Structure 1
Amino acid sequence: MYDAFVVGGGPSGATAAEDLARAGCKVALLDRDGRIKPCGGAIPPRAIRDFDIPDHLVVAKIRTARMISPTGRAVDIHIEGGYVGMVDREDFDEFLRDRARMVGAERLTGTFLRVERDAAGTHVVWREKASGQERRSLCRVVIGADGAKSGVARAEVPGGDRIPYVIAYHEIIKAPAANAGYDPVRCDVVYDGQISPDFYGWVFPHGDRASVGMGTEDGAVDLKKATADLRAMAGLTDCETIRREGAPIPLKPLDRWDNGRDVVLAGDAAGVVAPSSGEGIYYAMAGGRAAATAAMAFLRSGRASELKMARKMFLKEHGTVFKVLRSMQNAYYRNDERRERFVSLCHDIDVQRLTFEAYMNKKLVAARPLAHLKIGVKNVMHLLGIVSPKWS
């Protein structure tokens, strides 16, 4: 009998398993093994602090973000007094899983099949990778952290089969030497309908490697061609390709994260990827911690209503940020004219400062009301077309 059975060994599931094991629970962590999620790999300083991420996992420290408009104009936003950390998911995720194991979680390798219930209780049925055999594991609570197309969510949580998502695709390449077009401490974010009609493309340094990719909701887009075009645009066509990866990324938190009985969701399975930016690692780990907290409350009290705590905790802290980012994506990502205006707006020094203060600390900054007012007026003027995009 496990207290908790965690399905999915990404940052969310591994964090939930570690927190539960540290609290003295008997925990199983089921992971498919061998899968690396496509991801730009950015983690803010708050993630490094909150989740005790060792420096050796940070393969690059980004000091500048370059926003590139459809016409090729660029705005460099310098990160004052800090950096954005870059991790390689192949190593980062494995570190988190192994850390959970070291504090007591039992690692299992296989594929989730279903949840069954009988007089003995709740059973997770899964297929063991090594033997190919079905296994049944008895547990008191299940945490579904198995991605945007979560099998746990689809089978157990109302609405879990209707999560909207973008398809992300990237290629990990051997990084070129620093040159006029590539800077190993700068992230490039490309807002261009030729690369993505409704999201963006990116070039993110990873030390001796780089992640080059894009995302879109449009199923008609040829992801590999768009990424090839992005590589050509960035002068990266001749760089060696190390691996290629694609996966869905959710766009909106689900309305329910639990089944009112014995299952709670976390991470991509719950839809917690930031709109506009697509940032997921920090929010996945925060969601995993919220799910673990709710699961522990449930295990102590036996009340299934405690599982609702996960969603309430997460949205209380991050819900407003998600709403603001969703509004921004809806306003500016719809066509190239709007994308041009968005990058133009990023010239404003107040926009730059407030954006990165919010990104680094995962909180909306309210300390400078006049700056907020100024940005709000500029934003409305751009959306109404009262002003033209200006470039310095």
Structure 2
Amino acid sequence: MRVGVIGGGLAGLFSSLNLLYAGCEVDIYEEHDRPGYPKHCTGLVSEQTMKMLGRFANKCSDAFFNKIKLEIPGSGNITLHTSSKIVHLDRVCIEEGLAEAILGLGGRFFWRTKAILGGDSTIVAGGLTTRYDHIVVAEGIRREIFKKVYKGGDSAKKVFGINIVYKARNDLEGINVGFHPTLAPGFFYWIFPISDEEIIVGLGTSEPKTSLRATDVVLKKYGISNAKKIDSYGGWIGEGPILKRQLKKNLTFVGDAFGLQKPLTGGGIYPIVSSFTYKNSNSCSDAIAEIRYGTEKVASILRKQMPIAKVFHSSSFYYILYKIFRNLNGTEIRDDYKLIDYDRHDLSIQRIFLHLPLFLKEIKI
């Protein structure tokens, strides 16, 4: 079977690799000139997600954390000591490794090539129309093809995300996350070290024009002075799944194109890799069926997390959170019973309520 993949980001590359393993012939169309660019991803993932990425992540990790401090400025903070590590990955490095592996398996890349659908089974690119047995759409957050196929049905909320890498001596520990309706309206901000001399400051916001000024405020809040900006990148962040089902027989949407982001954090790496839980497909058609099933299953999981995101992102709930954080200021939570899941926020809430006595033992105020 011949499969055309529109989009050479992480979702397109990971899909292509799994299809090649199953014996598909794969062509990848990407409008940019190399894998991993333009950069846009913060790159924080759970240790479990790193393991699912396998060898492609092992050489691309540069920082490990086991502590997250959640705060509301002017109110208080709560520190969570995680039972497993959170990893910062260099996503460019991962995508370069995936592209190399794809070439080694016979996949073909068409770089600097904007591709569109000519129909359910054809791709138009570079003035040529090519017919495929199946088409995988991995076009990212823009969802241009999605909106044409599903007649404008992109209702998912988006915020603008920015990351700035600074060279600055620091004594930061762990990942610091803050919620504030002015600094990061509709989302949150973050700051964490990737070495003793480099930090990443970022945020998501419903007001992109204020993002640079807000990151400066976060820097000052943490006492970081004489910081030298060495890189910046970003883009739109989606907040959760759009559809429950893959509705077109010859088209499969993956990653951001299907709306697969964790609603609370906007993270897209976990939803991509967890869509591929089957590694032993007997045929190309089996692999396609498994990808379709995997994306639908992950979308179902992510939908359960949307109410949690609403509580933390909505200004309507901000003052409730403000009071909670003020009353719990300085609280330390040690997850010795492994109740907290960095990816499955829905499971975390469920486990905490089911095992409340154990959870209360882990809280030190």
TM-score for both structures, normalised by structure 2: 0.82
2:253 is aligned, of 249, 253, 265, to 265
Cα–Cα, structure 1 residues 160 and 233, in superposed 2: closer, same or farther, change >3 Å?
A: same
| 2-structure distance, mates of 1:22, 1:91 | 21
Counterpart of 1:65 in structure 2 is 68
2:102 maps to 1:100: yes
Counterpart of 1:147 in structure 2 is 140
Cα–Cα, structure 1 residues 162 and 275, in superposed 2: closer, same or farther, change >3 Å?
A: closer
1:192 is aligned, of 176, 180, 183, to 180
Cα–Cα, structure 1 residues 346 and 139, in superposed 2: closer, same or farther, change >3 Å?
A: farther
| 1-structure distance, mates of 2:244, 2:339 | 30
Counterpart of 1:46 in structure 2 is 48
SS at match of 2:213: helix
Cα–Cα, structure 1 residues 253 and 61, in superposed 2: closer, same or farther, change >3 Å?
A: same
1:357 is aligned, of 314, 318, 340, to 340
Contact map agreement 1:64 1:79 (CA 8 A) in 2: yes
Counterpart of 2:322 in structure 1 is 340
Letter in 1 for 2:94: F
Following superposition, the deviation at residue 171 of structure 1 comes to 1.2
1:86 is aligned, of 85, 88, 91, to 88
Cα–Cα, structure 1 residues 20 and 40, in superposed 2: closer, same or farther, change >3 Å?
A: same
SS at match of 1:222: helix
2:310 maps to 1:330: yes
Letter in 2 for 1:143: V
Cα–Cα, structure 1 residues 72 and 369, in superposed 2: closer, same or farther, change >3 Å?
A: closer
Contact map agreement 1:332 1:338 (CA 8 A) in 2: no
Counterpart of 1:137 in structure 2 is 130
| 2-structure distance, mates of 1:112, 1:67 | 41
SS at match of 1:170: strand
State the Cα RMSD in Å. Answer: 3.5
User: Counterparts of 1:155-174 in structure 2 under 5 Å?
Assistant: 155-174=148-167
Task: Provide, for residues 107-166 of structure 1, a one-character-per-residue CA deviation record: whole Å limited to 9, x for no partner.
Answer: 22124342114xxx8321234xxxxxx343331211111211123212323445443211
User: Counterparts of 1:1-392 in structure 2 under 5 Å?
Assistant: 3-31=2-30, 32-33=32-33, 35-53=37-55, 54-71=57-74, 73-80=76-83, 82-117=84-119, 122-127=121-126, 134-174=127-167, 176-179=168-171, 182-183=172-173, 186-207=174-195, 209-218=198-207, 221-236=209-224, 238-255=226-243, 258-287=246-275, 296-297=284-285, 309-316=293-300, 318-319=301-302, 322-323=303-304, 325-335=305-315, 336-341=318-323, 343=325, 357-359=340-342, 364=347, 370-372=354-356, 392=365
SS at match of 2:340: helix
Contact map agreement 1:350 1:371 (CA 8 A) in 2: no
| 2-structure distance, mates of 1:296, 1:159 | 31
| 2-structure distance, mates of 1:311, 1:248 | 21
| 2-structure distance, mates of 1:289, 1:151 | 28
Contact map agreement 1:249 1:268 (CA 8 A) in 2: no
Contact map agreement 1:157 1:256 (CA 8 A) in 2: no
| 2-structure distance, mates of 1:313, 1:199 | 25
SS at match of 1:96: helix
| 2-structure distance, mates of 1:361, 1:5 | 32
Contact map agreement 1:10 1:145 (CA 8 A) in 2: yes
Q: Which runs of 5 or more residues in structure 1 are unaligned?
A: 128-133, 377-390
Cα–Cα, structure 1 residues 332 and 10, in superposed 2: closer, same or farther, change >3 Å?
A: same
| 1-structure distance, mates of 2:61, 2:250 | 36
SS at match of 1:92: helix
Following superposition, the deviation at residue 251 of structure 1 comes to 1.5
Letter in 2 for 1:114: I
Following superposition, the deviation at residue 353 of structure 1 comes to 5.9
Following superposition, the deviation at residue 300 of structure 1 comes to 8.2
SS at match of 1:199: coil
TM-score for both structures, normalised by structure 1: 0.77
Cα–Cα, structure 1 residues 55 and 342, in superposed 2: closer, same or farther, change >3 Å?
A: farther
| 1-structure distance, mates of 2:288, 2:63 | 42
Task: Provide, for residues 6-35 of structure 1, a one-character-per-residue CA deviation record: whole Å limited to 9, x for no partner.
Answer: 122222111100000011100112222352
| 1-structure distance, mates of 2:340, 2:100 | 32
Following superposition, the deviation at residue 315 of structure 1 comes to 3.5
SS at match of 2:355: helix
Cα–Cα, structure 1 residues 39 and 341, in superposed 2: closer, same or farther, change >3 Å?
A: farther
Following superposition, the deviation at residue 310 of structure 1 comes to 4.5
Number of corresponding residues:
352
Q: Which runs of 5 or more residues in structure 2 are unaligned?
A: none
Task: Provide, for residues 82-120 of structure 1, a one-character-per-residue CA deviation record: whole Å limited to 9, x for no partner.
Answer: 311101222222222222332332222124342114xxx
Cα–Cα, structure 1 residues 115 and 298, in superposed 2: closer, same or farther, change >3 Å?
A: farther
SS at match of 2:204: strand
Q: Which moved more, 1:257-266 or 1:3-12?
A: 257-266
Letter in 1 for 2:256: D
Contact map agreement 2:75 2:322 (CA 8 A) in 1: no
SS at match of 1:146: coil
Cα–Cα, structure 1 residues 213 and 193, in superposed 2: closer, same or farther, change >3 Å?
A: same
